[in-house]
Structure 1
Amino acid sequence: MFSKTSTSSRKKTGRRGPLATASLLLVGLLTTGGAYALFSSTATADEASTTAAASQQSIDEGQKLFASNCATCHGLSADGTGDGPSLIGVGSAAVDFQVGTGRMPMAVNGPQAEEKPAQFTDDQIADMAAYIASLAPGPAIPEEEYLQADGDTTNGAELFRINCAMCHNVAGAGGALTAGKYAPALDGVTSAHIYEAMLTGPQNMPVFNDMNLSPQDKADIITYLKYLEKNPSPGGFELGSLGPVAEGLFIWIFGLGAIVAVTIWLTARSN
């Protein structure tokens, strides 16, 4: 009797039981979640497809630029010739450095490629880098987080003195090497190109991979070099920051020259 009355009461008021409400909520959540998952996977697939297409287009453009401007020395397949080394495995970092600094293509054959204005746009350089990177694994263009020049200046100075100063000078002013080669000055060089030079070892420079110098160590060296750019020498005229040789030459030529000139003037005046 009680049960019958209760059922009749629910029918009259139109209320659902707790189990029915929970079932409806579960169905709604499952429907919404399934629709969201389907939409997300579709969007992700479309984005991945677009990225892959853009990457392939960049590689194709880079291959065309390479064939027109680099294949004469490096070969159509970038496997090298008698006039240029193989580029298989050098990675995008080497291309970004060599082409971005204007060293490649070389103007004339010489002891080493000299820096000059870049002959290609940033997009073209990126395309050629993507093409070379697609041929074989190699050092990649560094992450932006290591190029901010906000590392440890003291550690960077110590690492630079130990690993770089014997060629580039402790102040990064550069210096002469053997057989007409030289270590270039590092003033004004972009952070990316400094990092890529350490990573790839261009010209006569040794390779400092991540086992030799960690990415953070490289970032600290960049911080030190940028500190030198922003803080001029407190001791007066730098004389090229070339050290005691330039300073001694200055003393011998101008210092002793001035003393001889004064001596001659005094002698002439007394006569």
Structure 2
Amino acid sequence: MRLLNRSAGRLSRHRRGPLAGVVLLLLGLVLTGTMYAAFAPAQAGSAESDAEQIAKGRELFLVGCAYCHGQNGEGIQTVREDTQFGPPLVGVGAAAVDFQVGTGRMPMVQPGQQAEDKPRVYDDEEIEALSAYVASLGPGPAIPEPDDYSIADLTEEEQEDAIVRGGQIFLTNCTACHNFNGSGGAMPNGGYAPALHETDPKYIYEAMLTGPQQMPNFSNGNLAPDEKRDVINYLLSLREQPEYGGFALGGLGPVSEGLFAWLVGIGSLVGFAVWIAAHTTRSTKKKGTAA
């Protein structure tokens, strides 16, 4: 017992001694260095990867985009300087590039009133590189994640409420251009609002976020991210609804329905009336000849 007490006393004195602080400091430095060595290479590699991706995006940009948008994304004006071949891209963000290039609207064959939705030219990796380069020109909206426009993590009741809210927002802000059914419609100066029946939810979110072409910009300050999500899921719900009335006629509303009524409905009646009149005339001539 005495021996144990003496050993414990010596250890206690060493812990209280000046060397104890030095030992603890060294242990802390070793632990910090080990953790840095474990995590720092991954961070450095990530930064290097980002730089490589931006460099690759710049190469693609100079080949396919600089003719209209300038070598540094500053935009290029026409000779008269009242219109632009391509607008400046500083500050538009990665979301604008992902939308325009991902839907095939860019690059355009030639400048025009509106970029057409067509098969895209670049693959996913090239689009990511272009988006990274344009994002490096100035701060702007980032590409949304699937969780930003999905309601899968909500309860069934919450999903129904989200769709109802989205319908109210869409009917208030979007039907003037896209039609109440999301079927699109004509716009001034030769433009048009595209149909949304087959558009990927990510691109709908990016369109609201960036406001391409004649579309208003519904930034997060104007329309909260949850509200954008609700609008998207309202549009998705329309795709699952059956057409109870039979012929949907494109879901374009009273214009197409009225045209169908005039051409098919009244046109059929007029044609039938003409047939009756012609048949009656032939019958009268035959009777007169017999007499």
TM-score (norm 1): 0.87
Unaligned stretches of 5+ residues in structure 1: 1-5
**Which residue matches 1:3?**
none
Q: Counterpart of 1:53 in structure 2: which amino acid?
A: E
Rounded to whole Å, the distance in 2 between the matches of 1:190 and 1:162 is: 22
2:59 corresponds, among 58, 64, 78, to 64
Structure-2 change in CA distance of 1:251 and 1:20 (3 Å): same
Deviation, 1:149, is: 4.9
Rounded to whole Å, the distance in 1 between the matches of 2:273 and 2:236 is: 46
Unaligned stretches of 5+ residues in structure 2: 78-84, 153-158, 284-291
1:129 corresponds, among 128, 131, 144, to 131
1:115 corresponds, among 111, 114, 117, to 117
Alpha-carbon RMSD across the aligned residues, in angstroms, is: 2.6
Rounded to whole Å, the distance in 2 between the matches of 1:162 and 1:56 is: 43
Rounded to whole Å, the distance in 2 between the matches of 1:122 and 1:184 is: 23
Rounded to whole Å, the distance in 2 between the matches of 1:209 and 1:133 is: 17
Deviation, 1:45, is: 1.3
Q: Deviations over 1:209-268 (max 9, x none)?
A: 111110000000110111112223222211011000100110011001121223233344
Structure-2 change in CA distance of 1:149 and 1:168 (3 Å): farther
Q: Counterpart of 1:264 in structure 2: which amino acid?
A: V
Q: Within 5 A, what are the aligned runs for 1:92-103?
A: 92-103=94-105
TM-score (norm 2): 0.81
8 Å CA contact retained: 1:149, 1:222? no
Q: Deviations over 1:157-183 (max 9, x none)?
A: 110111111000011000001111100
**Which residue matches 2:69?**
74
The sequence identity of aligned pairs, in percent, is 45
Q: Within 5 A, what are the aligned runs for 1:1-271?
A: 6-7=1-2, 10=4, 17=8, 37-82=32-77, 83-150=85-152, 151=159, 152-270=162-280, 271=283
Q: Deviations over 1:29-80 (max 9, x none)?
A: 9998876554333222122111111111110000000011101111111101
Q: Counterpart of 1:233 in structure 2: which amino acid?
A: E
Q: How many equivalent residue pairs?
A: 260
Rounded to whole Å, the distance in 1 between the matches of 2:25 and 2:120 is: 57
